[in-house]
């Protein structure tokens, strides 16, 4: 009988150890998942703020009041800093749209700088590129907000409207 009792004690200790290891593994997985979720939400919030600013800046160029260059500075720091986090967590189509939108922003900023150095005013091509950049960045902003709302359960206290109240969605994304 002592051998059976000892075997049961050993089995219980082993099961307890295995159960404890499983519990620690499970809790750690939940902790990691919660941290990754917080990182994703933070990255998306920063990129959303950046996109909002870019939409406003590009809108000033898309609807010029004169042929003079208005001050413009499209940003990409939040996107650059969080690309890896976003690429790991977002669907590929959203990442592709964001990348293309930021590429347009870089192209517009480059064209603006070149034109300024040459002393040129805004032309039809500059206005067309600014319009496309604005619309694409606005569509990206909407797409990111929809993802945050539907997949992450984030609620917005204020739902922003695009320039002139335009609602640009993926369905009417600029070509």
pLDDT tens per residue across span 122-151 = 778 888 999 999 999 999 999 999 999 999
Q: What is the pLDDT of residue 116?
A: 81
Torsion over CA: 160, 105, 133, 63 (sign): positive
Split at pLDDT 50, 70, 90, the class of 168 is very low
How many residues are there in the chain?
175
Q: Is the pLDDT of residue 10 over 80?
A: no
**Vertex 43: Cα angle to 128 and 24 (nearest 5):** 155
Placement of tokens 């002393």 in the chain: 119
The pTM (predicted TM-score) of the whole model is: 0.74
Q: Is the pLDDT of residue 175 over 50?
A: no
């Amino acid at each position: 009988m002592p051998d059976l009792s000892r075997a049961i004690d050993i089995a219980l200790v082993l099961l307890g150890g295995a159960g404890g290891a499983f519990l620690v593994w499970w809790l750690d997985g939940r902790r990691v998942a919660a941290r990754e979720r917080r990182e994703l939400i933070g990255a998306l919030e920063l990129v959303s703020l950046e996109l909002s600013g870019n939409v406003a800046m590009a809108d000033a160029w898309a609807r010029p009041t004169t042929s003079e260059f208005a001050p413009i500075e499209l940003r990409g720091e939040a996107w650059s800093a969080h690309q890896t986090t976003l690429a790991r967590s977002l669907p590929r189509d959203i990442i592709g749209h964001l990348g293309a939108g930021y590429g347009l922003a870089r192209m517009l900023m480059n064209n603006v700088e070149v034109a300024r150095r040459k002393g040129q005013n805004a032309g039809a091509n500059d206005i067309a590129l600014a319009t496309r950049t604005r619309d694409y960045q606005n569509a990206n902003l909407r797409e990111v907000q929809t993802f945050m709302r539907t997949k992450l359960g984030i609620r917005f206290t204020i739902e922003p409207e695009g320039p002139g109240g335009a609602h640009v969605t993926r369905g009417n994304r600029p070509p």
